[in-house]
């Protein structure tokens, strides 16, 4: 009779010291990246054109495409060339798109990404029939929102772009600290085990309050209650973006999208909220904020 295997020992639980060290590492990395981001924003504020914002967004989108191509099981897709080509197509569409038509813009960008994926369908790595469609949808998610920050600047001014970026990330920061300090309930254990109900609520409260502050200080047009609604829309979209990226990482079999920013993960881990919040601003803010 074979000897019974010993029961696996339980995973060690993080101590208060290790949690504090993890929070400090993420705070340090996040602080450095925040300073760099606002340095870029300050530089673009002196240029009347939105082309620098478009260029920065396009460059970051290309990096997102390359990072996705190296994520876990997605390496087998060998979709880097398709995604980079779709990034160039989406950026060109953004550059040539008429103002005030985000729905048409997204339809054109999706068509461009679908065409790129369809052209590559005959290549050996693209044998599976659904893969070109999946790449087209991923291209729409990964590659259009960051260059579309230029449209946010055109529609709502440089202050609106700054408000969007702050609202997208301030809730993420509040959710991280709120969840780390008070989190007890985990509403999405299969998608994002670390996300807690307490952290989500903290994120919403801070996002709504920040929206009211932006409206009260005339960074966003409208009354304080309109700023609260604008902040709520961006916060919910940002949290949805974070959950969707967690789902993508689970499909890829990885914990972080990349190693570039230490405890903060990769570029996709930092930009995930913007991939949903930029479209939310373009579609919802015109319904909430006065022209």
Report DSSP letters for 185-244, one per residue.
--S-TTT-TT--HHHHHHHHHHHHHHHHHHHHTTSSSS-HHHHHHHHHHHHHHHHHHHHH
Instruction: Report whether 288 contacts 226 (CB < 8 A).
Output: yes
Please work out, in degrees rounded to the nearest 5, the angle formed at the alpha carbon of residue 77 by the alpha carbons of 74 and 83. 90
In terms of Cα–Cα distance, which of 132, 54, 56 is closest to 94?
54
114-151 exposure pattern, b = at least 16 Cβ within 10 A, e = fewer? bebbeebeeeeebeeeebbeebbebbbbbbbbbbbbbb
Residue linked to tokens 């990034």:
87
Residue 99, pLDDT > 60, answer no
Q: Which two tokens stand for residue 116?
A: 């790129």
More confident residue, 185 or 142: 142
In this prediction, residue 247 has a pLDDT band, given cuts at 50, 70 and 90, of confident
Residue linked to tokens 């074979």:
2
More confident residue, 150 or 262: 150
Q: The pTM is what?
A: 0.80
The stretch 33-44 carries a mean pLDDT of 71
Instruction: Report whether 221 contacts 280 (CB < 8 A).
Output: no
- Cα 160 from chain centroid? 18
Instruction: Report whether 86 contacts 143 (CB < 8 A).
Output: yes
Which range, 18-22, 37-41, 267-271, has the best average confidence (pLDDT)? 267-271
CA distance 200 to 113: 33
CA distance 67 to 124: 21
């Amino acid at each position: 009779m074979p000897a019974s295997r010993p029961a696996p020992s339980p995973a060690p639980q993080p101590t208060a010291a290790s949690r504090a060290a993890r929070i400090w590492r993420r705070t340090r990395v996040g602080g450095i990246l925040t300073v760099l981001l606002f340095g870029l924003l300050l530089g673009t504020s002196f240029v009347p054109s939105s082309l620098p914002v478009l260029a920065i967004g396009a460059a970051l989108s290309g990096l997102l495409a390359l990072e996705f191509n190296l994520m876990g099981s997605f390496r087998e897709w060998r979709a880097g060339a398709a995604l980079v080509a779709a990034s160039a197509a989406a950026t060109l569409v953004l550059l040539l798109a008429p103002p005030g038509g985000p729905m048409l813009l997204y339809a054109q960008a999706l068509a461009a990404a679908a065409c790129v994926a369809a052209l590559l369908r005959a290549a050996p790595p693209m044998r599976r029939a659904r893969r070109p469609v999946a790449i087209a949808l991923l291209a729409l998610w990964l590659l259009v929102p960051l260059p579309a920050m230029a449209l946010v600047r055109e529609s709502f001014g440089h202050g609106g772009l700054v408000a969007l970026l702050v609202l997208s990330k301030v809730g993420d920061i509040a959710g991280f600290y709120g969840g780390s300090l008070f989190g007890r309930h985990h509403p999405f254990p299969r998608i994002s085990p670390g996300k807690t109900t307490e952290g989500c609520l903290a994120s919403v409260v801070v996002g709504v309050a920040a929206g009211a502050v932006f409206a009260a200080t005339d960074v966003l047009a409208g009354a304080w209650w309109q700023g609260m609604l604008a902040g709520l829309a961006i916060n919910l979209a940002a949290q949805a973006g974070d959950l969707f990226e967690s789902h993508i990482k689970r499909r890829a079999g990885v914990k972080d999208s990349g190693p570039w920013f230490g405890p903060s993960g990769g570029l996709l881990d930092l930009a995930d909220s913007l991939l949903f919040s930029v479209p939310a601003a373009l579609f919802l803010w015109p319904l909430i904020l006065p022209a």
